[in-house]
Structure formats: C-alpha cells, structure tokens
C-alpha cells in the first residue's frame, strides 16, 4: 500500500511540508501547483528534496478548465499542457490530475469534449505522462465520476484514466456501484477525504471543511471497500482542503492523516473480511465496559473544596492512597479520584492547567490490545511510577497530555493501593454517564482521530448550543456499546466559557462530568449551596412542549430538567453550580427508554443560570 498525501492538506512552506510528510511515514506526495509556484527553487530541486526524504511524487495537480473551450482557448490550453508536461519531467512525476471544466461558458457537446481530451491524451502518450480526469462536484457539465468515465472511455487512450476523489463522489450522494464498468487500469489515482455533513454549497464545503477519513460523516469505508473489492491496489492519497489544518502545526496534522489511512485500511479490511489484502491491521478492538473513574489534579486546598462539592452531591470519601496524597470519592459505581500529591505528575498538570481532569480510567475487556493499538497508531503510552506493592496501570496519552488508564475487566485496582472504607459508600449512582471536554477549535480533529483509531469509538452529528456570549459546537463520540460517552466542545467566539478557559488555562479541559443514576427523583437533592436553580419559565415551557402538567410540577419541585427524544426516550437531569472559577460543573442524569442524547435543549437554561451567578 502506497500511502500519500497532497501538499495542500497541511501548513508550511513546500520544504517544511515535505519534511513533515516524510516524518509522518508516507511514501508518496501529491504536489499542488500553488506550493510549487511559491517555492523559490526549481522543480528539479523539489525532486531532489523529495528523493532525499524517500518520497515518491505520486501526482501533480491541478490542471484546470481544458475541455470544451473556444478553439482559440483550446490551442492555448494545449500549449499550457506542453509546458506543464515539461515541468513534470523535471519534477520526476508522470501523473497529472485534470479537473473537469467549471467555466460557465464551456461547451456541453460531448463529442467536442472527447475530441479535446483525446488531443491531450495523444500529447501525454508521446510524453509518457498519464492523465487522470477528475469530475469536480461543481463541474459545469461533468460533475459525477461516471460522466468523467464516459468521456475517458470514448477517448480510449492508455494515457488517460479517471481520478476518483471520495469527496466529489460522496458529497453528491453518489456511489461506486457502476465501477464494474471500468477496467482497473483506467483508475489512474485515488484521493480520499471525509467531511462533516453540511447543508451548503458543495464548492465551499469542499474547499474549507474536508477532513481526514474517520473525522467526518461520509461513507468512506464503503467507498474504499468497493475499490479494494474491485482490485484497486494503487496509492491511497489524502487531499484535504481544511482551514484549520492550514493553520495548525503540520507535524501533528500529517501524523493524524497517516493514522486516518491506517484506520481506513483497517476498517476496509474488516468490511471485506479479507486477510490477504495489503491493508494495515492491528489488534482487535476490545469490548468497552464503562468509565471506571475520573481523576482531578488539585492543590491540597483545592482538593478540600472539590471534596466538599462532591459531598454536597452525595459522594463520600471511601479511600485514601497508602503512599500518596490521593483521595478516592465514591457514590455507588461513580468514582472520582482527587490527586494532590506534591511534586508528582498530577502536580505538574495542576501547575499548568489549574484544577483539572488529569486522567480518567476506562474499563475494558483487554487493556493490552488498546495499548498495542495506541502504539501501532503512533500515540504515546505511559506506565507510571508505582510504590512497592502498588499496582501499575497502563495508560495512553490523550491529545491534551492527560492520561487514559485502561483497566482490565476483572482487575481490582483499589484494594492494593488504597486504605478503603467501603461502608462509607452511600450507593445509588450507577457510574459516569459522560464527560464534556472543551478544547481549542483546531485541536478537536486530533481528539476525534484518537478516539476513532485507538478506541474504535463512533461519532454523532455535531450540534450547536448557545452560551450566553456565543455559540458552542458539540460533537459526541462514544464507545460502540454506548457505555462511554464524550462531548467534544469547541467555540469560535472569544467570549464563551470554553474560549476563556482556553486562554487562561492552556487548554480548556473538562467542562462537566455527568454521573448516572437509576431514579433521579429518589436521589437525595444536591446541597442548596451546590444545586443550580432552574427558572420557573423553563417548567412553563416544558408543559407547553410536552404537556403532562402534573409530572412537570413534580420536576419543578425537585428542580429536575427534562428532555424527550422522538422515539419517546426520556432524560432527567440536575446540574450543580460550577466549581471555583467556573471551569467545570457536575451533572446527575437518568436515562429512560434508550434516550441517547445529552439534553442539549436544556444547555441554554444552565448556561444562563451560571452566568447569573457569576454576575452576583
Ligand atoms: O477545489 C478544487 O479546485 C480542487 C482541485 C483539485 C482537486 O483534486 C479537487 O478535488 C478539488
Ligand atoms: Mg481531488
């Protein structure tokens, strides 16, 4: 498998891009013409640069607006092609991508288009160059891949085939079902890009919102499987136009792209049930069993405050680490660790980020397979210091530098390391329902790749929620079993709570942690100093939306928020005031009848109420 990426996908100057691409592990690179135009050296120098880095120049692109132009323009176009072919010889690249014509004036005459393309193919034959014709989704007359194929078939030259670009095919809701009509040697090149589903002009969507396979919502696995099933074994090349990628450090982006190819290969291999294909494979995904605990880094005084807050919600301290300043707080199966050990890794985290989530632990059927997957996908893993007779728990480093511990199904991690007082556990909570993590807008894609590739988590469609001073965009990822859930939140506005946390604490971190219980109406209310009051207007609106005035009156009395989905699933929840400087808060939830959302409709109520307190 030759893994390749287009230079347009990452930031930097051309030499910087090539270095980052080679360092990430790719064997091939598509040179985007603009990168070459702005480079001060010659094409031959670029060829040497690539050679020295062990990179094959898989493609030169784009060549535009060729077929169906006026005869005068056609002559000029052929001359333009000659010059580009000469450049490609110097560059050491034999494949050119030709985009379908997007000019509003170009001719719709099939035969004329074919004659033009044939002239180009004839020239290419003489020059030992291959042309891949790509249907841009906004092409004037050729916008579906099959239309490109019909023309290429009519040209009937060994020098001309089609380029399949997943974005152009899938953004129009098209598929590769008719690929059986195309001989393998006529598929010149394959470009891969994903994207979130958006209702917007396809050109804008393509130029600004593409992302790596697995980070978006297009059916990339079906796409790659169809091609592989048909026998395509040429390069897989990423071509991503993305505003965030252009503005982010190129090393991390290039690496994520490489991971996305590995991920897509692994998924494709699985979809095809194939063992002989030259596709990446790693250890099988484990079964996830839930979130075992979350761990806060704190100072001793903050640890005390946080403990008081947890106590006000119904938690009790049920353990103290034998050798470290690490307290375990529990209610039922919901566990919170507060780490205030001086001069430790957690202390270091606290110094950088304030009171924050420095680690979490996930329970899993096979921790070793997750560690092996993390390594295979190029993520750092961690095995912390342990005192004598203390257990060591393996961990993976998350994109923000926090740790995700992995705990095997039947492993008891508490008795060895903690002095426990389990009788103190009040019981009632069933676990950790979800975590909402705030992050810089440009770093969310790193998290998505991490959760998808290493953990095999799945994505939901992004939702937009109000904050009193802007909008927050929330993307949910969860384990396939649905028992570990995260909301990854970003905001473009400078005034939202996320933005302020990002600015003040070097990364936003945890926004809230939600614990779950079986019957919220039976759970003791939060202490009054902690419970977030809900405006009466909210309950009037609930009655207007859902009816059931009696139930709503009870909810009002208990200060419980409510949501219902289209299938009749119900969500009951209660919020706390934010901790300390307002960085995070807690939530207690009850889900009924398969409700799988997060009560987004109620976020505005919470956010405004919190703001009110900050103004006091
Ligand atoms: O947006 C474009 O113009 C453009 C250019 C070349 C490509 O391969 C492509 O997919 C899009
Ligand atoms: Mg393309």
Give the 3-state DSSP-derived string for 435-489, with helices as H, strands as E and coil as C. Answer: EEEECCHHHHHHHHHHHHHCCCCEECCCEEEEECCEEEEEEEEECCCCCCEEEEE
In Å, how far are 213, 408, 488, 575, 578 from 607, measured between CA atoms? 34, 37, 17, 10, 10
Cβ neighbours for 207, distance < 8 A, ≥ 6 positions apart: 241
pLDDT of residue 167: 98
CA–centroid distance, 208 to ligand 1, in Å, is: 12
Helices (H), 92-176: 110-127, 145-155, 166-171
616: pLDDT strictly greater than 80:
no
Among the bound ligands, the one closest to the CA of 100 = 1
CA–centroid distance, 16 to ligand 1, in Å, is: 22
542: pLDDT strictly greater than 60:
yes
In Å, how far are 290, 332, 486, 559 from 575, measured between CA atoms? 22, 19, 17, 9
Is the entire prediction scored with pTM above 0.80?
yes
Enumerate the β-bridge partners of residue 514.
434, 587
Residues with CB under 6 A from ligand 1: 61-62, 97, 99, 134, 136, 165, 191, 206-207, 239
Pocket test for ligand 1, best of 101, 144, 167, 239 (most atoms within 8 A of CB): 239
> For residues 514 and 527, is the Cβ–Cβ distance under 8 A?
no
pLDDT of residue 615: 47
Per-residue pLDDT band at 361 (split at 50, 70, 90): very high
CA neighbor of 333 nearest in space, from 350, 352, 311, 318: 318
pLDDT of residue 566: 94
Pocket test for ligand 1, best of 58, 206, 208, 210 (most atoms within 8 A of CB): 206
**Using one digit for the tens of pLDDT, what is the confidence trace for 513-533?**
999 999 999 999 999 999 998
141 in a labelled binding site: no
**Using one digit for the tens of pLDDT, what is the confidence trace for 144-203?**
999 999 999 999 999 999 999 999 999 999 999 999 999 999 999 999 999 999 999 999
Among the bound ligands, the one closest to the CA of 97 = 1
Pairing of strands 509-517, 485-490: unpaired
191 in a labelled binding site: yes
Q: Which atom of ligand 1 lies at the shortest distance from residue 62's CA?
A: 6
**Using one digit for the tens of pLDDT, what is the confidence trace for 106-139?**
999 999 999 999 999 999 999 999 999 999 999 9
Pairing of strands 429-438, 485-490: parallel
CA–centroid distance, 326 to ligand 2, in Å, is: 53
- Three-state secondary-structure class, residue 93: coil
CA–centroid distance, 165 to ligand 1, in Å, is: 9
Residue nearest to atom 1 of ligand 1 (CA): 207
For ligand 2, an ion, list residues with CB under 5 A.
Answer: 165, 191, 239
318: pLDDT strictly greater than 70:
yes
CA–centroid distance, 79 to ligand 2, in Å, is: 24
């Amino acid at each position: 498998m030759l893994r390749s990426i287009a230079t347009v996908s990452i930031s930097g100057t051309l030499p910087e891009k090539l270095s980052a691409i080679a360092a990430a592990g790719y064997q091939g690179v598509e040179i985007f013409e603009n990168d070459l135009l702005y480079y001060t050296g010659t094409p031959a120098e670029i060829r040497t640069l690539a050679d020295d880095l062990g990179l094959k120049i898989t493609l030169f692109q784009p060549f535009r607006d060729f077929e169906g132009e006026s005869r005068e323009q056609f002559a000029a176009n052929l001359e333009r092609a000659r010059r580009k072919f000469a450049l490609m010889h110097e560059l050491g690249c034999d494949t050119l991508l030709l985009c379908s014509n997007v000019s509003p004036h170009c001719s719709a005459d099939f035969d004329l288009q074919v004659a033009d393309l044939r002239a180009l193919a004839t020239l290419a034959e003489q020059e030992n160059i291959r042309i891949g014709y790509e249907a841009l989704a906004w092409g004037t007359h050729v916008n579906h891949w099959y239309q490109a194929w019909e023309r290429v078939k009519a040209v009937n030259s060994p020098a001309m085939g089609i380029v399949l670009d997943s974005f152009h095919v899938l953004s129009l809701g098209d598929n590769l079902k008719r690929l059986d009509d195309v001989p393998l040697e006529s598929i010149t090149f394959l470009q891969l890009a994903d994207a979130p589903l958006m209702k917007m002009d396809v050109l804008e969507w393509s130029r600004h919102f593409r992302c790596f396979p697995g980070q978006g919502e297009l059916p990339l696995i079906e796409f790659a499987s169809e091609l592989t099933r048909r026998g395509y074994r040429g390069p897989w090349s990423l071509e991503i136009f993305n505003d965030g990628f252009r503005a982010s450090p190129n090393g991390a982006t290039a690496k994520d792209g490489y991971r996305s190819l590995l991920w897509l290969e692994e998924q494709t291999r699985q979809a095809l049930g194939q063992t002989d294909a030259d596709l990446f494979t790693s250890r099988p995904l484990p079964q996830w069993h839930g979130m075992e605990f979350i761990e806060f880094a704190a100072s001793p005084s903050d640890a005390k405050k946080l403990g008081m807050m947890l106590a006000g919600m119904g938690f009790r301290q049920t353990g103290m680490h034998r050798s470290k300043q690490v307290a375990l707080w529990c209610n039922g199966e919901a566990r919170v660790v507060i780490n205030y050990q001086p001069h430790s890794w957690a202390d270091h985290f606290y110094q950088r980020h304030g009171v924050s989530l420095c680690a979490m632990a996930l329970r899993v059927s096979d921790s070793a397979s997750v560690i092996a997957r993390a390594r295979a996908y190029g993520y750092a893993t961690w095995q912390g210091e342990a005192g004598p007779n203390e257990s060591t728990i393996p961990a993976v480093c998350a994109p923000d530098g926090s740790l995700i511990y992995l705990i095997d199904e039947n492993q008891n991690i508490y008795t060895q390391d903690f002095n426990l007082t389990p009788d103190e556990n009040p019981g009632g909570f069933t676990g950790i329902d979800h975590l909402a993590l705030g992050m810089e807008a440009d770093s969310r894609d790193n998290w998505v790749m991490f959760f998808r590739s290493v953990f095999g988590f799945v994505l939901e469609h992004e939702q937009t929620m109000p904050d009193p001073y802007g909008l927050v965009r929330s993307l949910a990822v969860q384990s396939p079993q649905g028992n570990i859930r995260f909301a990854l939140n970003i905001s473009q506005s400078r005034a939202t709570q996320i933005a302020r946390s990002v600015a003040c604490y070097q990364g936003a971190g945890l926004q809230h942690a939600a614990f779950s219980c079986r019957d919220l109406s039976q759970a003791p209310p939060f202490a009054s100093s902690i419970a977030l009051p809900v405006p009466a207007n909210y309950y009037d609106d609930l009655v207007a939306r859902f009816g059931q005035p009696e139930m709503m009156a009870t909810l009002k009395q208990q200060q419980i928020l409510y949501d219902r989905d289209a299938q009749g699933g119900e969500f009951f929840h209660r919020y706390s005031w934010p901790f300390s400087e307002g960085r995070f808060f807690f939530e207690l939830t009850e889900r009924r009848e398969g409700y799988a959302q997060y009560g987004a409709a109620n976020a505005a109520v919470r956010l405004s109420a919190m703001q009110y307190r900050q103004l006091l």
